[in-house]
Chain A
Amino acid sequence: MLNISEIRKQFPILSRKVNKTDLVYFDNGATTQKPQTVIDAVNNYYKDENSNVHRGVHFLSGLATDKFEETRDAIQQFIGAKHKHEIIFTKGTTDAINLVANGFRSLLNKGDEVIISELEHHSNIVPWQMCCDFTGATLKVIPLLDDGSLDMITFKKLLSENTKLVSVAHVSNALGTINPIEEIISNAHKVGAKVMIDGAQAASHIPLDMQKLGADLYCFSAHKMYGPTGVGVLYGTDKMLNALPPYQGGGEMIKEVSFEKTTYACLPHKFEAGTPNIAGVIAFKNAIEFITGLGVENIAKYEDELLQYATAEILKIEGVKIYGTAKHKSGIISFNIEGLHPYDIGMIVDKMGVAIRTGHHCTQPIMNKFNVPGTARISVAVYNTKEEIDVCINAINKAKMMLS
């Protein structure tokens, strides 16, 4: 059993006021709040440890490098990767997908096919459209069923020897659907395709084990898992990452540079050109420790309790419709109320201190599928409570009254 009130004490922002009332933060799908240990780690880095990594011979450079690499170790353990060099630091999930999509430009040819799904975030659509435009490969899309789950029958029909890559989300940011990625990976591998999983909405909610899962590539963002912004991880198998060409050229990623020929560094440095977000990477370890300290399974169980409670309470609102009712869901609820625009609801509940997200959530194809301009979205984190859900529902009811 998690002690939620103790957990809340670790997040200073949760005790601030917004519009003169207590903050109720349900926009965790966009970014989570940060515990004091993460804030302190960023602070301490600049106060005590600041130096560039992997370059200097002096004391501070060694210290910064050691701490930077400790985070890589922590991530390797956290996601069950076989090798440390399979962990690449990026700016975030979007950056990681772009790194891979850029690399696949030299692996794809005309006639090859890339499969994504209808529920992807724009970050897992647009890079592949750009990649396919460049290479002449074809982009195929797994359709959504009415409950917001993937049409797996059609997916299996889309697979062929032309399929070179399947890139899908682990969890939908707009609907909360948990996709059957094990089944997607095993089917894709049968036709020889590689698989990339966008884990941005999964990494702090679902236990991960890369060796068991068998994905070729998996990525996520630190800021959606209680860590700093501007840091993400691309995991790739040793074999996959070695097959991809470098993304950006610059310092750190080279072995030798001459004007005749430059050779590239080994993994992971090959993909880490330029000075990284050192403070962010170091503090990310504290975020991982926060999560593992509680246990991902415990977090998942508690968040599911919140999801079930919030879903039941939202369904009591007259005229409400929830988008995304798949059997396996993470703590995300997208909804609309008949006759009301989500923007109006979001604006009014904000005045009551409740932060929810409204709009298309960077998933316009999903909005088109359900024929809505947008939705209101509640997304939970481990520090949320049932009392906060009550406050949120009251605020929504009040908005409904004002708008009707």
Chain B
Amino acid sequence: METIQDIQGEIIEDFGMFDDWMQKYEYLIDLGKELAPIDKKHKTEDNLIKGCQSRVWLHAEHIDGKIIYTADSDAIMTKGIIAILISVLSGQTPASITDAKLDFINEIGLKEQLSPTRANGLVSMIKQMKIYALAYNN
């Protein structure tokens, strides 16, 4: 299985190919469109992470020692970023998720999306992903 670090490296490489913001955003939009849908029954108020701008639903399951995340958002760019986060963290063990340093966010120039001022729920989303991992780790 690929480690979180390996996957982050690949993402950084993918984004390295883009010359400008537009290609980067188009890629995010594509990722957002391709994000595997969340099961309707998990799109609940309990699973909702509220941001000022867009809403994110996040569900986690513990299967064979690994955590499988599914998620959705009403904004496509947010969905694109979710897709990346899921590709990095989903299918990993709780311990490696709680310990993960998500350096790629800086590297691919998405830090601005994650600043609290963007208020898009992504900071809360990463926090929530780690909280699920922490819960299953115990």
Contacts and interface: CB of A to CB of B under 8 A. Distances in A.
Partners in one complex: yes
A402 B76 CA distance: 11
A351 B22 contact: yes
A373 B76 CA distance: 14
B18 interface: no
B53 A402 contact: no
A373 B78 CA distance: 14
8 contacts: A341-B54, A341-B76, A343-B120, A344-B29, A344-B75, A347-B77, A402-B26, A403-B76
Interface of A: 19, 341-344, 346-348, 351, 358-360, 373-374, 402-403
B105 to A, nearest CB: 16
Interface string B96-125: 000000000000000000000001100000
Interface of B: 21-22, 25-26, 29, 52-55, 74-78, 119-120
B22 to A, nearest CB: 7
Contacts of A347: 25, 77
A348 B120 CA distance: 14
> 8 tightest A-B contacts by CB?
A341-B75, A343-B75, A343-B53, A343-B54, A351-B21, A344-B77, A359-B53, A344-B75
B53, B55, B74, B119: residue with the most chain A Cβ atoms closer than 10 Å: B53
A380 to B, nearest CB: 22
Given A351-B21, A351-B22, A374-B53, A402 B74 contact: no
A402 B28 CA distance: 11
A359 B78 CA distance: 14
B52 A360 contact: yes
Contacts of A359: 52-53, 119
Contact of A343 (B25, B26, B77): B77
Contacts of B119: 359
Contacts of A373: 54-55, 74
A360 B78 CA distance: 17
B68 to A, nearest CB: 26
A351 B77 CA distance: 13
A343 B78 contact: yes
B22 A341 contact: no
Given A343-B75, A343-B120, A403-B76, A351 B25 contact: yes
A146 to B, nearest CB: 23
B21 A402 contact: no
A90 to B, nearest CB: 25
A344 B26 CA distance: 11
Contacts of B75: 341, 343-344
Contacts of B26: 402
A92 B75 CA distance: 33
